[in-house]
Structure 1
Amino acid sequence: MKKILTLLGTFFMGMLLLPTYVWAAESHASAVQVPVWLCIPFAGLLLCIAVMPLLRAEWWEAHQPLVVFMWIILLVVPFAIVYGAGDTFETVLECIVNDYLTFIVLLFGLFCVSGNITVGGDFAGSPRVNACLLALGTLLSSCIGTTGASMLMVRPVIKMNSWRKRKRHIMVFFIFLISNMGGCLTPIGDPPLLMGFMRGVPFFWSMHLLPILIFNLVILLFVFYHLDKKAYRKDIAEGRKPDISRPGTEFYIEGLHNIIFLIMIVGAVILSGVLPGMSAFQDAAGNVRGIHLYGEVTLTLPALIEIVIILLAAFLSFKTTDSSIRTKNHFTWGAIKEVAVLFIGIFITMQPALMLLKSVGPNLGISEPYQMFWATGALSSFLDNTPTYLVFLTTAGTLGLTGGITTALGQIPVNLLEAISCGAVFMGANTYIGNAPNFMVKAISDENGVNMPSFFGYILWSLAFLVPVFILDMLVFFL
């Protein structure tokens, strides 16, 4: 089975490299061609993430930083040959400062604060309880973000199901719903929608997606409930029982004051989207003020304020919470370290792929809602869904269509905006790297004894359960 998954993965990554080359975006300093072979380090890193845990798990765990550094070097050196050392340094610095830094600080803050909240009591992970938890977390994702809801809910869900043997499906559907789909209703829910809000999409417009979310939620919870009921009965038949004395009679939350720090973090994210549009944070030319670092790279004041607030929230959370709560949560730094190492490599090595996407996006001839849905979603499964969303949002704005939502990018019909938004948010669930919390949930689950699917194994789960739902979405909402 492992050999089959490895072969499938190799074939799929090879398909990414089929084109010979395309033109770079006009905004680049020189109109040189972007050879597709510059995407090889990105594909190579993804293959390592997918294959190495299957072939050499212990070696991979010990040498992840070295492998990531190798792929970064294999990108940076040829990139410098093609574009020059100055442009290469600026590209990497821009990626680290304006993409990776805010990403990892947000993830770190939520990881710390959620680790200081523990839920206990006489609740066992039954199919009904698990379905209710997934539904609650899905709706919570639009209030505190998919990352916030994932970090808040992951440990209670794991703890309530710790007595069970068959539980990987619980965390897979957790990623499907809480870590992705639930974030579609507000700009707080997922970064792509925040970018849309910053470009003129009304804050509460995303509530248009509620019928689609409910449609998907009902289908996936129905499937999940029956999968979980089957697994639950097998666990009971083997003599497994939850370690509780009076089921359903006790429930408690410790570290509840950390909700204040979660609100601080959510507020920081909202500020990062609102402050750049205020005149006090703009210079005479309309550019966002900040600390100039190199070339056109600037650490903006809104981003700096966001980082400071998030780090302060994490610091106060640790200072005001007893360490016994972290002990009950089996809190360690392993998961955040793994995510930090892998994603610095992913963010840097995917830059040529993003350049290709920005270059060819407006010329793909994509103008129908179902085309926007699949194109945005397919690329968001492997690339950062925020720039992917912006590429297709810009494409929709340049079609010259009338009616719909007036944005800074032009008039965008409602059905196109719905398709782009759903593609970016929903299909981030297709792979572990499609959205920030996916890999974090996997890492925390692995740490706590849940035998999660491999990289390709997870893709098989998404092909089996998500893609049919997306086909229904297309037929019902986007045709």
Structure 2
Amino acid sequence: MKKLLTGLSAFLLFSPLHVFAADGALSDTALGTTLPLWSCIPFAGMLLSIAIFPLIKEEWWEKHKPWVVAFWSLLFLIPFAVIFGGHIALEHLIEVTLGDYLTFIVLLFGLFCVAGNISLQGDLTGNPKVNVVLLLIGTLLSSWIGTTGASMLMIRPIIRANKWRQRKVQIMVFFIFLISNIGGCLTPVGDPPLLMGFMNGVGFFWSLNLLPVMLLNVLILLTLFFLIDTKAYKKDIADGFKPEIRPESERVKLHLDGAHNIAFMLIIVAAVILSGVLPTTFPVFSEGLTIMGVTLSYASIIEIIMILASAYLSFKTTKKEIRDSNHFTWDAIEEVAILFIGIFITMIPALLILKARGADLGLTQPWQFFWITGALSSFLDNTPTYLVFFTTAASLGFTSGVQTLTSFIPKAVLMAISCGAVFMGANTYIGNAPNFMVRSIAEENGIKMPSFFGYMFWSLSCLIPVFLIDMLIFFL
């Protein structure tokens, strides 16, 4: 594998000069129109590797994961450079790493660090009622501190409360459904697609229009979870698994250790908001560091500095014992960083094709936007997917609805695009970054999570019926 990657890298670096002299002005639309569908094979290979290798060669996968990511990335980049020119390939590589991946991973890293320094302690016994309350609290937090922030804040308390349970996979699966995805639909802070809508003229509080859809979904899913968890709970009790019951004098009241880190989490949320507000309010902040035509804006640089400073100060001001009580390790963020750089790179052709041909899909009805946005957001980054169909809807010539920077979009259509992008990220582990982080942290704590396809069985059986109800009530 290493020899193959070395050869591929050398081929890319020492390609003939005419390759690098290709026309750098070729537009994304022209690229997307030209690219064949088979250019998405590396992306499919990346997804299949994530799905299959942990099942058939788990130890090999854990050891060679970075090389597999590099292989699929180069398998796309090298033919792309040969056909369109090394300059264009390098430009798109810089765009996806500097323009998209950098801010993405810095935000995840910051929230992961700060949340790892907050520990909910006390006698909290995991049972169906307690779990429903914890899931509801996390779901409500997601719109205000982001799905990643809420996931990292709530995952360890829920694991700790249910550590005595034998059957607890359903808790983690519904955690991903609700806290890592659906709960983030009410504000632009909740999920990046909604932030993109805000930056394109949609009002900050417009997303509250999604509240009825969210409430319906949360009600159905929490009811379903309660029934499943109650059945599992009774089996645990019958098998002799029981929570530790300590004497009254030894019980510990619920309290937060490292509570001052909530301030650092709020600073990170403020940084995300500023990154969206500054460029539209003060255009100078949209300028910045430019490399080969790709600009890392001053607003993004400020966001990165604020997040990294918050993470650093969080570690400096928090006792190591708090992280130890959370069983804090770097494994989860390391896995996400490795896998998602490969996902971001290999999905370049899929996004280019979608951007160029999205308007040709003949979408006119809200339910069509709901399902196509959601289906693609299940496997692609939901932020560019949202923008593609946001732009598509804005180009259809509507004369009334929600006012954006360029045109109108009917309320039902924008609701459908927003719900599809946010909700259906829950359909797969890769649909939203917190999904993978929750899975990794759960497995670190001894919870055997479903495989990639095993998780999709849960989502297809539990989520798709709910989304069909959404369509029938809100989008037809």
Aligned to 2:280: 277
2:172 and 2:33 map into 1 onto residues whose CA distance is 45
1:95 and 1:127 map into 2 onto residues whose CA distance is 42
Aligned to 1:17: none
Q: Secondary structure at the match of 1:401?
A: coil
Q: Decide whether aligned partners of structure 1 residues 29 and 417 sit closer, same or farther in structure 2, where only a CA change above 3 A counts.
A: closer
Task: Verify the 8 A CA contact 1:376 1:388 in the aligned structure 2.
Answer: yes
Aligned to 2:402: 405
1:31 and 1:439 map into 2 onto residues whose CA distance is 29
Aligned to 1:114: 115
Q: C-alpha offsets along residues 441-471 of structure 1, whole Å, 9 cap, x if unaligned?
A: 0011111111110000000100000000000
For the pair 1:289 / 2:290, whether they are aligned, the reply is: no
Q: Decide whether aligned partners of structure 1 residues 303 and 387 sit closer, same or farther in structure 2, where only a CA change above 3 A counts.
A: same
Task: Verify the 8 A CA contact 1:430 1:459 in the aligned structure 2.
Answer: yes
Deviates more, 1:125-134 or 1:28-37: 28-37
Amino acid across the alignment from 1:293? I
Give, in angstroms, the shift of residue 246 of structure 1.
5.1
Which of 465, 468, 475 aligns to 1:468? It is 465
Aligned to 1:160: 161
Aligned to 1:455: 452
Q: Following superposition of structure 1 onto structure 2, how do residues 79-98 of structure 1 map, counting pairs within 5 Å?
A: 79-98=80-99
1:270 and 1:88 map into 2 onto residues whose CA distance is 31
Task: Verify the 8 A CA contact 1:127 1:229 in the aligned structure 2.
Answer: yes
Aligned to 1:380: 377
Task: Verify the 8 A CA contact 1:394 1:409 in the aligned structure 2.
Answer: no
Task: Verify the 8 A CA contact 2:199 2:277 in the aligned structure 1.
Answer: yes
Aligned to 2:226: 225
TM-score norm. by structure 1 comes to 0.92
Amino acid across the alignment from 2:306? I
For the pair 1:323 / 2:330, whether they are aligned, the reply is: no
Give, in angstroms, the shift of residue 104 of structure 1.
0.4
1:133 and 1:401 map into 2 onto residues whose CA distance is 42
2:396 and 2:39 map into 1 onto residues whose CA distance is 30
Amino acid across the alignment from 1:368? Q
Give, in angstroms, the shift of residue 278 of structure 1.
2.5
Task: Verify the 8 A CA contact 2:42 2:72 in the aligned structure 1.
Answer: yes
Task: Verify the 8 A CA contact 2:33 2:357 in the aligned structure 1.
Answer: no
Amino acid across the alignment from 1:443? S
Q: C-alpha offsets along residues 322-380 of structure 1, whole Å, 9 cap, x if unaligned?
A: 00001111001111111100000000000000011101111100110000000000000
Q: C-alpha offsets along residues 100-139 of structure 1, whole Å, 9 cap, x if unaligned?
A: 0000000000000000011111111100000001111101
Q: C-alpha offsets along residues 164-188 of structure 1, whole Å, 9 cap, x if unaligned?
A: 1100000000000000000000000
Q: C-alpha offsets along residues 418-438 of structure 1, whole Å, 9 cap, x if unaligned?
A: 000000000000000001101
Aligned to 1:204: 205
Give, in angstroms, the shift of residue 75 of structure 1.
0.8
Aligned to 2:144: 143
Amino acid across the alignment from 2:186? L
Q: C-alpha offsets along residues 2-55 of structure 1, whole Å, 9 cap, x if unaligned?
A: xxxxxxxxxxxxxxxxxxxxxxx9545768610112111110010000000000
Q: Secondary structure at the match of 1:393?
A: helix
Q: Following superposition of structure 1 onto structure 2, how do residues 118-267 of structure 1 map, counting pairs within 5 Å?
A: 118-245=119-246, 250-267=253-270
Aligned to 1:333: 330
Q: C-alpha offsets along residues 292-336 of structure 1, whole Å, 9 cap, x if unaligned?
A: 111x11111011000000000000000000000011110011111
Q: Secondary structure at the match of 1:240?
A: coil
Amino acid across the alignment from 1:272? S
Task: Verify the 8 A CA contact 2:33 2:353 in the aligned structure 1.
Answer: no
Q: Decide whether aligned partners of structure 1 residues 244 and 290 sit closer, same or farther in structure 2, where only a CA change above 3 A counts.
A: farther
1:228 and 1:46 map into 2 onto residues whose CA distance is 30
Which of 407, 411, 414 aligns to 1:414? It is 411
2:28 and 2:222 map into 1 onto residues whose CA distance is 45
TM-score norm. by structure 2 comes to 0.93
2:254 and 2:214 map into 1 onto residues whose CA distance is 30
Task: Verify the 8 A CA contact 1:199 1:407 in the aligned structure 2.
Answer: yes
Aligned residues with identical type, % of pairs = 61
**What are the ranges of 5 or more consecutive residues in structure 2 without an aligned counterpart?**
1-25
Q: Decide whether aligned partners of structure 1 residues 255 and 244 sit closer, same or farther in structure 2, where only a CA change above 3 A counts.
A: farther
For the pair 1:431 / 2:450, whether they are aligned, the reply is: no
Amino acid across the alignment from 1:257? H
Task: Verify the 8 A CA contact 1:122 1:246 in the aligned structure 2.
Answer: no
Task: Verify the 8 A CA contact 2:288 2:297 in the aligned structure 1.
Answer: yes
Aligned to 1:18: none
Number of residues paired by the alignment?
A: 450
2:135 and 2:280 map into 1 onto residues whose CA distance is 36
Task: Verify the 8 A CA contact 2:369 2:417 in the aligned structure 1.
Answer: yes
Deviates more, 1:244-253 or 1:63-72: 244-253
Task: Verify the 8 A CA contact 2:29 2:352 in the aligned structure 1.
Answer: no
Q: Decide whether aligned partners of structure 1 residues 27 and 68 sit closer, same or farther in structure 2, where only a CA change above 3 A counts.
A: closer
Which of 271, 289, 292 aligns to 1:268? It is 271
For the pair 1:442 / 2:439, whether they are aligned, the reply is: yes
Q: Decide whether aligned partners of structure 1 residues 79 and 27 sit closer, same or farther in structure 2, where only a CA change above 3 A counts.
A: closer
Aligned to 1:4: none
Q: Secondary structure at the match of 2:205?
A: helix
Amino acid across the alignment from 1:414? K
Amino acid across the alignment from 2:75? L
Q: Secondary structure at the match of 1:432?
A: coil
2:323 and 2:247 map into 1 onto residues whose CA distance is 25
Q: Decide whether aligned partners of structure 1 residues 115 and 175 sit closer, same or farther in structure 2, where only a CA change above 3 A counts.
A: same
Give, in angstroms, the shift of residue 409 of structure 1.
3.3
2:32 and 2:326 map into 1 onto residues whose CA distance is 53
Task: Verify the 8 A CA contact 1:175 1:441 in the aligned structure 2.
Answer: yes
**What are the ranges of 5 or more consecutive residues in structure 1 without an aligned counterpart?**
1-24, 283-287
1:318 and 1:420 map into 2 onto residues whose CA distance is 39
Q: C-alpha offsets along residues 404-425 of structure 1, whole Å, 9 cap, x if unaligned?
A: 1110131001000100000000
Aligned to 1:358: 355
Q: Secondary structure at the match of 2:138?
A: helix
Amino acid across the alignment from 1:177? L
For the pair 1:73 / 2:74, whether they are aligned, the reply is: yes
Amino acid across the alignment from 1:321? T
2:149 and 2:217 map into 1 onto residues whose CA distance is 21
Q: Secondary structure at the match of 2:81?
A: helix
